[in-house]
Amino acid sequence: MSGAQDRVGHPSDCRPADWAAEVAEIGRRRELAMAMGGPDKVDRQRASGRLTVRERIDRLVDAGSFAELGALTGFAGYDEEGRLMSVVPANFVTGTARIGGRGVLLGCDDFTVRGGSGDAAIHAKQVFAEQYAAGMRLPVVRLLDGASGGGSVKMTHTAGATYVPVNPAWDVVVGNLSLVPVVAACLGPTVGLGAARLVMSHLAVMVRGVGQLFTAGPPVVRAGTGEDLTKEELGGAAVHLGNGTIERFADSEDEAFAIIRAFLSYLPASVHELPPVLARDDPPDRRDEALISAIPRNPRLPYRIGPILAAIFDRGSLFSYAEYGRATVTALARLDGHPVGVIATDPYKGTTMSVAGAQAMTRLVDLCETFHLPIVSLTDQGGISIGKIAEAQGTIRHAARAIAAVYQARVPQAEMIVRRVYGVAGAGAVNRHRAARSWAWPSGDWGSLPVQGGVEAAFRSQIEQASDPAAEIERIRTALAAISSPFRTAERFGVQDLIDPRDTRPLLCAWVRDAYRVMPELLGSPSFGTRP
């Protein structure tokens, strides 16, 4: 036997025969990591109405599925003999887990350790998490609470020098938007780099009264601008409601987790897969009698879009997306179990495309193009918003951007015209230069502009010369009403089909099966990625 073999287990060898001591040390260090920032900081976190990072993970993912990555990463203290005295874990907890049985990568802030600031972060851990998600094609879920590894004055003081900023893993963070679904939740004061990581997502969720989002916190703002604001006044839900930063708001962390789970259920794990099709639980040939009277005959009367959507799409499948869209409704839904993106209009909030509506539409189209969801438009588009405020906001620029997204998208598109189709915005509801399938309800009304509203301007001379101007206006309007009948348009193939509104669901369910048949051709890199 060799000399090395002779020494194994020799009485003079004082080392143990196995690795039990080291394994025990691994367990001890894991216990230290589970203590997070210590009892006092944990109690303070809970007293603020927020869950700890460990509690959040347990409530979000499938039970027992979290496999932590880098659990022993942290800042250790040793005595003179090299024995471990203390460990402060890094304030970023990451690992793989399952949500609804499907794999995800979690990246979660631990506010109990230095409020998530950079001097308690080990950036290599955050960088690897994003790289691993990209390499393994796993959706990313970020639970944000703090600076998320951003800089701090204390860190600069300790380093003894300033530095040119580099956002950790930012090349991968940007790239992941065009590769895997990314969801971010604002579960506390989310500032600086954390705020940027929040909006670099396909869905940003904020918990009211708990989460706040700002580029710089109140002390920095006070020093820089003189504004003395609380966190809620500076970046709470009331500030961000409707400004296009946050897609969904929740009243509790558990509601936020439910939103995350629901959103991911519509999407594939990456752009290299198709969206998951569920088993049929709603007859595709279901016809809802209420649809035949859903649109009032009086064009000035609004209607509720909610019941119409419920009648058309699979029961219980509607997921509201960009809630800041105002009159422009964006959603995810299913047709015969197949995920689709939905664009519609809520006439109770308006019928024209505003800046917020254009932003919401762009976000949804980008999402659908990135992850191969066909788009269904229930078109009632009164054109682009007009007036001094609309012009001052640059509405035409935002509207053109939304229409460009529609025209760039390669995913199948279908349109059900339920009422108005006017002007540039109406022309961009779907890409009608492609083989987009289109139907119209008999309530359809279209043109470059509403013909009835332009009678006095278009026929001014004729009306002024008439013996009875009021009667002449009425005569012209009656003639225009006949010309603008949707049947006249159908006669010239200006619309592909006029249908009974009750046939909408069966027709769309048949269409979506054909759409998914050609979808494999789109797998891989989308024609463009999601823009934050």
Confidence of residue 359 (pLDDT cuts 50, 70, 90): very high
Give the per-residue pLDDT at 32: 86
Q: Supply the angle between the helices 395-408 and 355-371 in degrees, to the nearest 10.
A: 20
- What are the tens digits of pLDDT across the range 439-448? 999 999 887 5
Beta strand 319-320 pairing with 212-214: unpaired
Whole-angstrom distance, CA of residue 414 vs CA of residue 394: 29
- pLDDT tens for each residue of 71-101: 888 888 888 888 887 788 889 999 999 999 9
Q: What pLDDT score was predicted for residue 118?
A: 61
Residue with more model confidence, 400 or 491 = 400
pLDDT at 89: 87
The answer, yes or no, to whether residue 387 has pLDDT greater than 90, is: yes
Amino acid at 101: G
What backbone torsions phi and psi does residue 287 show, to the nearest 5 degrees? Answer: -120, 125
The dihedral region occupied by 95, where left means phi > 0, alpha psi between -120 and 50, and beta the remainder, is left
Strand locations in 280-370 (E)? 319-320, 328-335, 338-345
What element of type H or E holds 417?
strand 413-422
Question: What is the tens place of the pLDDT at every residue in 179-223?
Answer: 999 999 999 999 988 999 999 999 999 999 999 999 999 999 999
Alpha-carbon distance 320 to 199, whole Å?
Answer: 18
CA-to-CA distance for 111 and 120, rounded, in angstroms? Answer: 10
- Give the pLDDT band of residue 119 (cuts 50, 70, 90): low
pLDDT at position 166: 65
pLDDT attached to residue 1: 41
| Mean pLDDT rounded to a whole number for the chain | 88
Q: Which of 59-73, 207-221, 481-495 has the lowest mean pLDDT?
A: 481-495
Predicted local distance difference test score (pLDDT) of residue 527: 62
Residue 353 bridge partners (DSSP): 384
Least confident of 280-289, 358-367, 507-516, 522-531: 522-531
Domain 19-264: give its CATH architecture. Alpha-Beta Complex (3.90)
Residue type, 12: S
Would strands 248-250 and 203-207 be described as parallel, antiparallel, or unpaired? parallel
Dig out the tokens for 58 from the structure: 């347990």
CATH 3.90.226.10-classified regions of the chain: 19-264, 289-441+499-522
Contacts of 412 (CB under 8 A, 6+ apart): 374, 375, 436, 437, 511, 514, 515, 518, 519
* CA atoms of 338 and 335, how far apart (whole Å): 5
Contact 280, 315 (CB under 8 A): no
Render pLDDT for 298-330 as a digit per residue (tens, 0 to 9): 988 999 999 999 999 999 999 999 999 999 999
* pLDDT tens digit sequence for 220-267: 999 999 999 989 989 999 999 989 999 999 999 999 999 999 999 999
Beta-strand pair 413-422/437-440: parallel
Instruction: State the pLDDT confidence band at 9, using cuts at 50, 70 and 90.
Output: very low
Q: Tell me what pLDDT residue 127 has.
A: 92
- The pLDDT of residue 479 is 67
Given this model, what pLDDT does residue 280 score? 84
pLDDT of the residue at 152: 53
How high is the pLDDT of residue 513?
Answer: 97
**Which of the listed ranges 68-77, 367-376, 469-478 does the model predict with the highest average pLDDT?**
367-376
Q: Dihedral through CA 149, CA 137, CA 185, CA 52, nearest 10? A: -70
Which pLDDT score is estimated for 410? 92
DSSP string spanning 190-234? EETHHHHHHHSSSEEEEETTT-EEESS-HHHHHHHH-----HHHH
Distance of CA 442 to the CA centre of its chain: 34
**289-441+499-522 topology per CATH:** 2-enoyl-CoA Hydratase; Chain A, domain 1 (3.90.226)
At 7 the pLDDT is: 41
- Looking at residue 498, the DSSP 8-state letter turns out to be B
Q: What is the pLDDT of residue 33?
A: 87
**Residue 251 CA to chain centroid, in angstroms?**
17
Mean pLDDT of 99-116: 90
Shortest CA distance to 344 belongs to which of 369, 316, 322, 370?
322
pLDDT score of 5 more than 60:
no
Backbone angles phi, psi at 297, to 5 degrees: -70, -30
Which residue do the tokens 């601008």 mark? 225
Residue 162: the pLDDT is 66
